[in-house]
Structure 1
Amino acid sequence: MTASPRPNRGPGAAADNRAALIRAARNVFAENGFEAPMTSIARTAGVGQGVLYRHFPTRESLALAVFDENITEIEAIADDPAATVDDILTAVVEQITTSAAFIAMIDPTSTEDVRLFEAAWRMINLITVKLEDPGLRGSLRGDITTADVILAISMLAAILTKTEPQSREATSRQAWRLLSRGLTG
């Protein structure tokens, strides 16, 4: 017995389909890594591959959409005038731990996609603004720069790209605890 096809909701479903694809990509990438089959993402989102490729013609464009959502979440935290660098880093570490797309995109030098550079700069600027205000540095030492923070985040991301998904959370906690000691003194 074959399943009956879903009714075509037409162009009105585009925004819902896009949101479903981003959610599905976040989950599938987290469970299976950045190289997970695109068919798995379409299936998880409940759409056909044509819909997937109409919204996201490449794996990188889909990962960028996930990355952009992650940055938007971090920007919402940073918008709180009392938010410190510690608050931002907590969110970044959590996202790196759960989102393989975020891990894959943490190094914008790995692509020529201008949109990735722009998204990465958004995150770098958030950290820079907080570091420039002594009251918002949180527990970070006074000599720590934005480049130091990005290096620590990149080191964590590099470790987690080589870590099996089921071990990622424990490895992330341990690695970030060690890296934090260097940032806080």
Structure 2
Amino acid sequence: MSAPRPANRGPGAARENRLALVAAATEVFAEQGIDAPLNAVAKRAGVGQGVLYRHFPDRVSLALAAFDTNVAEIETLSADPACGLDDLLRALTRQMIDSVAFVEIVTGADRDPRLEAIRERVRVALVGVVDQARRAGVLRPAVTADELMLAVGMIASLVAKVPEAERRPTAEAAWALLDRALRP
């Protein structure tokens, strides 16, 4: 016999349901990647699939809501004059270790304009920090924000393929290797 379904709490629960879906999506995508079954998200949020699709008509809409805080963190860090390249790379690395799905979205090849917009937000956040790092002699003069995005994507792709316990050491080893190419 299946477990009893939660009672429909009606339109008054819409905000609470949305927040629960975003939190659940963040967890499920972090654990299973961006292609995780959406019914797993609905189940973890304690709502039916109909509620999920009322709030988020497709996977991209849900992923963008789930990872907006990641992008906001990168934007906030890059806007801080005290933030250096290493600070930003640590944050991006933590995010890729915690949730390979987020970096899959930012560095992926999907040409959905909504994903392009989130990629552009991250790229723009990197531009000032990359320029500052080049001026300070921390990065080679020819390194661009786009190349740094490529490096993040390469490491994220590698990190996504290893067990969770190996993600941090793998990311650190990959950055150590790429540092020799990116830094003077």
Q: TM-score, normalised by structure 1?
A: 0.85
- Per-residue CA deviations over 1:97-132 (Å, capped at 9, x if unaligned) read 111321321235x22321111111111111112222
For residues 22 and 137 of structure 1, the distance between their equivalents in structure 2, rounded to whole angstroms, comes to: 39
Q: What is the RMSD of the two structures over their aligned residues, measured on CA atoms?
A: 2.4
Task: Report the AA paired with residue 70 of structure 1.
Answer: N
Counterparts in 2 of 1:12 and 1:146: CA distance versus 1, 3 Å: same
Cα distance, 1:173–1:146 mapped onto 2, change above 3 Å: same
CA contact (8 A) 2:106 2:118 kept: no
Cα distance in 2 for partners of 1:172, 1:15 equals 37
Matched with 1:123 is 122
Q: What residue is the counterpart of 2:151 in the other structure?
A: 152
Q: Note if contact 2:106-2:115 (Cα within 8 Å) is conserved in structure 1.
A: no
Aligned length: 184
CA 133–33 in structure 1, closer or farther in 2 if over 3 Å, else same: closer
How far residue 152 of structure 1 moved from its aligned partner, in angstroms, is 0.7
Question: What stretches of structure 2 of length at least 5 have no aligned partner?
Answer: none
What is residue 53 of structure 2 aligned with on the other side?
Answer: 53
CA shift, 1:137, in A, is 5.7
- Look up the match of 1:176: 175
CA–CA separation in structure 1 for the residues paired with 2:162 and 2:2: 39
Relative to 1, partners in 2 of residues 1:139 and 1:132: Cα closer, same or farther, differing over 3 Å? closer
Which segment drifts farther, 73-82 or 161-170? 161-170
- Cα offsets for 1:77-104 (capped at 9, x unmatched): 2232211222222111111111132132
Identity %: 43
Secondary structure of the structure 1 residue equivalent to 2:42:
helix
Return the alpha-carbon distance in structure 1 between the equivalents of residues 111 and 48 of structure 2.
28
In structure 2, the partner of 1:143 is 142
TM-score (norm 2): 0.85
**CA spacing shift, 1:180–1:67, aligned 2, 3 Å:** farther
Counterpart residue type for residue 181 of structure 2: G
